[in-house]
Every structure is written in C-alpha cells, then in structure tokens.
Amino acid sequence: CYGIYAFNTELNDVEKIVANVTVMASGGAGHVYSATTNPVIATGDGMAMVYRAKGKVRNMEFIQFHPTALYHPGEYPSFLISEAVRGFGGVLRRKNGEEFMQEYDERRSLAPRDIVARAVDNEMKKSGDDFVYLDITMRKKADILKHFPNIYAKCLSIGIDMTKDYIPVTPASHYMCGGILVDEYGRSSIKNLYACGECSSTGLHGANRLASNSLLEATVFAHRIYQDAVENFNNNIIPENIPEWDSKGVTQSNEDVLVTHNLRELQKVMGDYVGIVRSDFRLERAHRRLFLIYQETEEFYKRNKVSVKLCELRNVIQTAYLVIKSAMQRKESRGLHFTTDYPNHADALIDTVF
Ligand SMILES: Cc1cc2nc3c(=O)[nH]c(=O)nc-3n(C[C@H](O)[C@H](O)[C@H](O)COP(=O)(O)OP(=O)(O)OC[C@H]3O[C@@H](n4cnc5c(N)ncnc54)[C@H](O)[C@@H]3O)c2cc1C
C-alpha cells in the first residue's frame, strides 16, 4: 500500500495522497441495516476498500445487535438504551405487560446481549409488533434521574417519562466483530497497510463481543501499530509512477435518488433476511436481491462523479455482500451468527476468511 485516493469534499475532487504507512481506522458497518446505533459514518468503508484491494477480511457474519435501542420511527441512527438500565432492575415486557425473558434464559432480562436480542426478535416476530417494552418504573424517580439523566431526557423529549411509562425498545445493529484481518501488530494482509478499531478483526472479540471491550482493543492496537510502524516506516519505497485519479468520461449526477433508494432497499433486504436469526433460504434470497443492487450501483459509479454518498453506498453493498457470503459459509450457529438450519455448534472452530 502506498497511500490513498481521497475524495476532498471541499474541492469536490479526488486527490492522491502517498504515504509510507497507511492505517485504516474507519469504524464499523452498522448502516448495512436501517436500525443501528452507529454514527452515520459507519458504512463499512475500510472493510470494503481492503476487500476490493484484494486484502483479506474475516468473520463478517458476526454482527452484534443491541437488544434495546429506543423505538422511535424516523430517528436514524437509533438512540441506545444502555444495558445499565437492565442492570439497575429494568425488565423486558410484552405489549400487554407480561414479562417474557424467563421463557428464554434463567438470567431473564440480564442474559447476554445475543440471547436477549434473539428473544426480543422472536417476541416481535410472534406478535407482529415493532417493539417490546423496557420497564424501570419500579425504581425511585430520584434514583433513575441520578443514574440515567441522558436517557431520561431523551425519552422525555419524545413524550415518554421513564419513571412512569414503559420504554419501547427494539434491537439494532451495534458492532461488527469481523473486519479486516490483522495480526497482533495490526498488520493487514496488504503490505504497509494497518487496520485498527472496529474495522479490523484482531480475533479479540471472537464470535461474540463482550460489552466495552472495543475501546480497549482500539487503544492497545493503535499503540502496537505505532510501535511497528516507526520501526518499518522507511522500508517502504514509494514508486514514482503512481497515477493520479482518472475521472475522464464521468459526469456530475443529477440522479441521487438512485443512491438513496438503493441504500434503503439494501437495508431492508439485510434487516429482513440477514438479521438476528438467519436461514439458508433467506440468505440466498438476500444474495440474489443484493446482486441487482450491486449491478445497478456499479453501472452508476462508472458513469458519474464520485460523491460521499455514492462511495458509502458502494461500501455498504460490498460489506453486505461479505456478511451474506460469510453467513452462507458458516454451516453452524456460533456466537452472534444464529441460523435455524444449523442451530448447533460445529465441532471444529473455523474462521470465515475472504
Ligand atoms: C452508542 C454506542 C455506544 C458504545 N459504547 C461502547 C462502550 O461503552 N465501550 C466500548 O468499548 N465500545 C462502545 N461502543 C463501540 C465503540 O464506540 C466503537 O467500536 C468505537 O468507537 C469504534 O472506534 P473506531 O476508531 O474504530 O471508529 P470510529 O470512532 O467510528 O471512527 C471512525 C472514523 O473514521 C472516519 N471515516 C469513516 N469512513 C471514512 C472514509 N471513507 N474516509 C475518511 N474517513 C472515514 C469517520 O468519520 C470517523 O472519524 C459503542 C458504540 C455505540 C454506537
């Protein structure tokens, strides 16, 4: 790797930036789904770029869904109702007020994220509702305000007083455990390209991330990358003949509706067919649908000037493709990947690498 082609949003043009060392630190891929807690930049850019550059990505099927994002249609990304609310006594309930987690796990509402997310997903599928409730009304108002001032203020801003009302919650994609395959120094399979943070797959999160580990991982690996990079910085000789970005023959698009439409369509396909519970049938369906969206978008990309939205759409499509292919390859249920066709662990633990 000798650097990047970067889209300069002020000049509306692509620049060549050469570098001895390049670090991909582009974050997660939550926006492969429409319901996500991730910031809007989480469009899988790093994973998609590295894959297109023939680098390796690993275990892209392991996507963590947070069970309790605030259900508030139209708000994008979703607001997270932290696990601490359940830790503080919060209980999940059906719309009719019944508690249900005891039917899924003896730890009830305190079961791990993946179990709670699957239970909520199942409850929503059974009832046809778009959410379940989180109830913390048994705690004193003063305690709730002291522990959760932001969540209280947010809920109140949309007319929910969590000291008296149940909070409507729904699962949302939260963290990508897979990503760019790196070694213990953050080195990717492409020479002089490192990856760090959520876009990388260090192996640390396995098939199921524990809450709060990702910032620690990013800090440790950023330091290791720095240590390795300062040692090897001068070994990368940059060739003279790296071409400028070639935008001949493209025009400024006035059809941005295609970009928005294809993103929404892809997110719907992923949410419906490649969500918390998967099956071969749904994955194949998603794969077919995605191919159409891919073809259309690539055609559009070749003819039009790049824009942030267009680049992100291509990257979301590429990432979704990797998620589907990885999920299809894993003929077992493990960690965050659950499929009704293979509900048990396989004996051998095998990484999915593309
Ligand atoms: C609501 C929420 C709560 C969380 N709570 C915790 C927690 O308590 N503890 C914990 O450990 N983890 C938590 N996480 C996860 C953690 O925050 C993320 O995994 C972490 O912030 C990712 O850091 P990062 O540096 O990899 O990416 P980010 O912090 O997402 O940074 C990526 C950067 O890359 C830029 N970028 C992206 N694409 C491009 C591109 N194509 N070109 C140029 N720039 C680009 C973005 O603008 C951004 O600045 C939480 C996540 C969410 C969403």
| Nearest-angstrom CA–CA distance, 133 and 101 | 12
How many angstroms separate the alpha carbon of residue 287 from the centre of ligand 1?
Answer: 27
List, in sequence order, every residue forming a beta bridge with 70; answer none if it has no partner: 169
| Beta-sheet pairing, 132-135 with 193-195 | unpaired
10 Å CB burial of residue 188 (0-12, 13-18, 19+) is buried
pLDDT confidence of residue 250? 83
pLDDT of the residue at 247: 82
Angstrom distance (rounded) from CA 103 to CA 299: 49
Domain 67-172 has CATH 3.90.1150.10: no
Question: Would you state the pLDDT for residue 68?
Answer: 97
> Could you tell me where in the chain the CATH 1.20.58.100 domains are found?
256-339
Distance CA 34, CA 267 (A): 5
Q: In which residue ranges of the chain is CATH 3.90.700.10 found?
A: 67-172
The CATH T-level fold of domain 3-64+174-235 is FAD/NAD(P)-binding domain (3.50.50)
For the chain, where do the domains classified as CATH 3.50.50.60 start and end? 3-64+174-235
The answer to whether residues 44 and 277 touch, using CB atoms and an 8 Å cutoff, is: no
Handedness of CA 111, 114, 115, 119 (dihedral sign): positive
- pLDDT, one tens digit for every residue, the chain (354 residues): 999 999 999 998 999 999 999 999 999 999 999 999 999 999 999 999 999 999 999 999 999 999 999 999 989 899 999 999 999 999 999 999 999 999 999 999 999 999 999 999 999 989 989 999 999 999 999 999 999 999 999 999 999 999 999 999 999 999 999 999 999 999 999 999 999 999 999 999 999 998 889 999 999 999 999 999 999 888 888 999 999 998 888 887 777 788 999 999 999 999 999 999 999 999 999 999 999 999 999 999 998 889 999 999 999 999 999 999 999 999 999 999 999 999 999 999 999 999
The closest of 82, 277, 57, 281 to 174, measured between CA atoms, is 82
Structure tokens at 111: 């079961």
Q: How far is the CA of 28 from the centre of ligand 1 (A)?
A: 6
Pocket test for ligand 1, best of 41, 47, 176 (most atoms within 8 A of CB): 41
Helix (H), strand (E) at residue 327: helix 308-329
- Asked if the interface predicted TM-score (ipTM) of this complex is over 0.90, the answer is yes
The domain made up of 256-339 has a fold known as Methane Monooxygenase Hydroxylase; Chain G, domain 1 (1.20.58)
CA distance 146 to 52: 48
pLDDT at 251: 81
| Residues whose beta carbon lies within 6 Å of some atom of ligand 1 | 25-28, 37-39, 41-42, 45, 80, 175, 197-199, 212-215, 218
Amino acid identity, position 49: M
